[in-house]
Structures are given as structure tokens and as C-alpha cells.
Amino acid sequence: MPLLLKASNRHLLSSSSSSSIASMATCSSFCAQLPIPFRPVPISSSFPTNQPFKPFSAQASISPASDELFFMYKKKCLLYSPYLTKTFSVFADDGSPITVGFLGLGIMGSPMALNLIKSGCDVTVWNRTKSKCDPLISMGAKYKSSPEEVTAACDVTFAMLADPECAVEVACGNHGAVSGMGPGKGYVDVSTVDGGTSKLISGHIKASGASFLEAPVSGSKKPAEDGQLIFLTAGDKSLYETVSPFLDIMGKSRFYLGEVGNGAAMKLIVNMIMGSMMATFSEGLLLSEKVGLDPSVLVEVVSKGAISAPMYALKGPSMVKSLYPTAFPLKHQQKDMRLALGLAESVSQPTPISAAANELYKVAKSHGLSDSDFSAVIEALKGKVQS
Ligand SMILES: NC(=O)C1=CN([C@@H]2O[C@H](COP(=O)(O)OP(=O)(O)OC[C@H]3O[C@@H](n4cnc5c(N)ncnc54)[C@H](OP(=O)(O)O)[C@@H]3O)[C@@H](O)[C@H]2O)C=CC1
Ligand SMILES: O=CC(=O)O
């Protein structure tokens, strides 16, 4: 049976890089009897001795079709293999599983939480609209009726919320996440917000004695479903180390970028580029049609050359048909453009192209396209919508 070794895509960055390599060597000899694809990759060799979290180790039980393979690892090693999704838990050294909370079950939060559940993690969910919890509860999730109850019940809690305002409300509002936090717990905000918001939430979380990590994701609905997200993290390094096994279930890459605010900034810059790319792609599609070319052929031509991008190949064919099935809501793309422009203004960086693209997203929103996919921005360039 072919193995896809997810570990090959991993980025263990910054100060942990060299020590990770050293640790990898340790783990390889520790598990020398294993075939290479099954060798564990270290989560961290520089695991702080006095870190505030329950020390943990990973245990993986693998049951492929032949049902013949069974491996168990201790000592901070994580096994990467496609079979990992069968059963997987991260345990504290006292033998209890690290319990995971998940707040916000929209387009992104639902598949992310589902991947944790499918992997065998002990997951407790909450969402403002309770009905979105039900499919996850039927898959084995526990449910609590407020963010406070989730964080009180869980060791680490992830939050995937729409925008800065609701990220603050869920964290710091009445019966918010902060009220259930305390020493030894961690809060990981994976929403896309600005650095100021992230620092505000971090301040409240840390005042409770808990740890904070911002970890916005790059990648949309499908990568979320496939566990192929890219995490852009910043904040408490020990929490980063602790939650890395969970990030690796939900994603394919993770970057640790230092101080709170850096992850948010990286995410906003990436999405500023993405939003501008989509806007100019839209102009190209419409221009090609106006001059008598087939826009589908333009999509194909673009896919062959230096400016090819998965986004164009993925969205182009449906844009040509004026179809915009929502993966990344347009209102969130415009929010990200707005926040990125604020970031640019804060350091006096000119961003005229992105500013123009932002205007286009605002026009699209004003025409009722907020909940369509962001590729619907093309509609803002069509005469009938503009008039
Ligand atoms: N979709 C995508 O492709 C990607 C999105 N992102 C970012 O991830 C975040 C979530 O995106 P996505 O899942 O697409 O968004 P959705 O709009 O699908 O989900 C938003 C979530 O926020 C909750 N929410 C909104 N307002 C409030 C509030 N006032 N109080 C409590 N909860 C609230 C919603 O609850 P309810 O169900 O009750 O409405 C829902 O759980 C955003 O920051 C987005 O920019 C990042 C990468 C990719
Ligand atoms: O934020 C959106 C994405 O696709 O990434």
C-alpha cells in the first residue's frame, strides 16, 4: 500500500530547526527497527523542562486494511502516516489524553474539528448557532453551551471565528473563553484577525495565567477538509510545541514566527496578495471575453506558464460560468484586505494595487455578494452590477 509521508512537507522553523534535526536523529535511532515511512518525527527536542503544560507523548495505533501494524511511541515523538487518522491521541504523562476545545464551527472550523475527532482526539465543541455542533457531536464530540465551559473543561482550546469583533467577543465577552482559562491551559486563535486584536486577546488570556498562540491558517475549505492547512503561528513557544501534534493533524505545514502579531501580519499580507490576484484575474477573464477570446482558454494558457497558480486553476472554470460556490466568503476576503491596508498604513507602506482591489470587494459586497465565494468579485466588474 503506498504511503504518503506527510513529514516531508513539514517546516519546523526558527530557533528549533537545528535542535529538531538533532532530535530527529535521536528518534530515528530510538525507532531504528521501523521502516523509514513509519519513523516518527520529533515534535520538539527543545521541550522546556519547566514548561507549563502537562508533559505529553504521542501514541499511535495503526490499523490499515491488513490490520497487522501496531506501533506505540512515547517520549515526544509523533508518527506521520496516512493511517494516523485511524486512531491517534496525545497523552499527558499521567496517561490522560490532552483535551481539546473548539470554538466556531463555520466553513473552516467544522472540518478542522472533525479531523481532530476522526484522529481520536478528545474534542469538546461550541458554536453560536448550536445546530452546527450536531454533526460533530454525532461523530463523538462533547458539547458545552458556552466558550467559558469549553475552556474550563479543556487543556487547549482552538477558536476559528469570523472577524476581529467576534474573536474578541468569544474570548473576552460574558461567559467567554477567558473566564474558563487558567494556569496550565492554552488558547489558540486560528481566526484571521489583525495584530492589535490578537494582542488584546493574548493579554486577557495571559492575565488568567494561561498561554496564548495566534495561528491563522492559509488554505481554504478543501485544504481544511484534507488536513492540508498552513499554520502561521506566533506567541508562546511552549504552547506551540504542545499543540503541534494537533496542528499536524489539521495541516501540512506550520511556521513559528515569534511575537504575537507576526502570525496575523503574515496571514494578512498573504491574503492581500491573494485578493489582488483574484481581482486582476477577474479583469483578465472579462477582457478576454470582450475582445472575442474564450476565457476558458485564457484559464488554460495561464495554467501553463509562470503566472500559473492553483487558485486560478481551481476558481477559473466556475468563474467563466458565473458560478461562485462558497469556499472563502467574499466578506472575509474584504475584511482581510481592509485589515492588510490598515497594517500597511501603520508603517506608511504604499499599497495602491491592493487599495484598488479592496474597492472592488466593497462594490461586490454592496451588491449582496458577501456570502458568495470571493471569486464573485468578478461580478463587480460586470456592467450590470456596477450600474
Ligand atoms: N473559508 C476560508 O477559506 C478561510 C477562512 N479563513 C478565516 O477563518 C475564519 C473563519 O472563516 P470561515 O469558517 O470561512 O467563516 P464562517 O463565516 O463560515 O464561520 C464564522 C464562524 O464565526 C462565528 N461567529 C460569527 N459571528 C459571531 C459572533 N458574533 N459570536 C460568536 N460567533 C460568531 C460563526 O458562528 P455561527 O455559525 O453562529 O454564524 C461561525 O462559527 C475567518 O477569520 C476567515 O477569514 C482563513 C482561511 C481560509
Ligand atoms: O484565507 C483564505 C485562504 O484561502 O487562505
Atom of ligand 1 nearest to the CA of 110: 13
Q: How far apart are CA 39 and CA 52, in angstroms?
A: 28
Q: What is the CATH number of domain 6-260?
A: 3.40.50.720
- Give the per-residue pLDDT at 95: 73
Q: How far apart are CA 267 and CA 110, in angstroms?
A: 20
DSSP state letter for 329: B
> What is the ipTM, given to two decimal places?
0.99
Q: Which residues line ligand 2 (CB under 6 A)?
A: 192, 218-220, 271, 328
Measuring CA to CA, how many Å separate 315 from each of 29, 142, 244, 276, 286? 46, 36, 31, 15, 14
Q: How far is the CA of 240 from the centre of ligand 1 (A)?
A: 23
Q: How far is the CA of 104 from the centre of ligand 1 (A)?
A: 7
DSSP state letter for 37: G
Q: Cell numbers at residue 169, please?
A: 467577543
The response to whether residue 338 sits with its C-beta less than 6 Å from ligand 1 reads: no
What is the reported pTM?
0.83
- Give the per-residue pLDDT at 383: 76
Measuring CA to CA, how many Å separate 129 from each of 125, 152, 283? 12, 20, 37
DSSP state letter for 98: P
Per-residue pLDDT 10s for the chain (387 aa) are: 222 223 323 232 232 333 333 333 323 222 222 222 222 333 332 333 333 444 444 443 333 333 322 223 322 233 333 434 434 556 666 777 899 999 999 999 999 999 999 999 999 999 999 999 999 999 999 999 999 999 999 999 999 999 999 999 999 999 999 999 999 999 999 999 999 999 999 999 999 999 999 999 999 999 999 999 999 999 999 999 999 999 999 999 999 999 999 999 999 999 999 999 999 999 999 999 999 999 999 999 999 999 999 999 999 999 999 999 999 999 999 999 999 999 999 999 999 999 999 999 999 999 999 999 999 999 999 976 544
Confirm if 82 and 60 have CB atoms less than 8 A apart: no
Residue-range domain boundaries for the chain = 6-260, 265-386
Q: How far apart are CA 134 and CA 120, in angstroms?
A: 18
Q: How many helices (H) and strands (E) does the chain have?
A: 14, 13
The response to whether residue 329 sits with its C-beta less than 6 Å from ligand 1 reads: yes
Confirm if 382 and 295 have CB atoms less than 8 A apart: no
Phi, psi of 86 (to 5 degrees): -65, -60
DSSP state letter for 27: H
Confirm if 63 and 87 have CB atoms less than 8 A apart: yes
Residues classed as catalytic: 267
Confirm if 261 and 199 have CB atoms less than 8 A apart: yes
- Give the per-residue pLDDT at 96: 79
Point out the ligand nearest to the CA of residue 162. Answer: 1
The response to whether residue 250 sits with its C-beta less than 6 Å from ligand 1 reads: no
**CA-closest residue to ligand 1 atom 25:** 162
The response to whether residue 251 sits with its C-beta less than 6 Å from ligand 1 reads: no
- To test the pocket of ligand 1, the residue of 150, 161, 233 to mutate (highest count of ligand atoms within 8 Å of its CB) is 161
Q: How far apart are CA 325 and CA 6, in angstroms?
A: 29
The fold adopted by the segment(s) 265-386 is N-(1-d-carboxylethyl)-l-norvaline Dehydrogenase; domain 2 (1.10.1040)
Q: How far is the CA of 159 from the centre of ligand 1 (A)?
A: 10
Going through 20-92 in order, the beta strands assigned E by DSSP cover 40-42, 56-61, 77-79, 87-92
- Using one digit for the tens of pLDDT, what is the confidence trace for 106-126? 999 999 999 999 999 999 999
- The 3-state DSSP composition of the chain as helix, strand, coil percent (nearest 5) reads 50, 15, 35
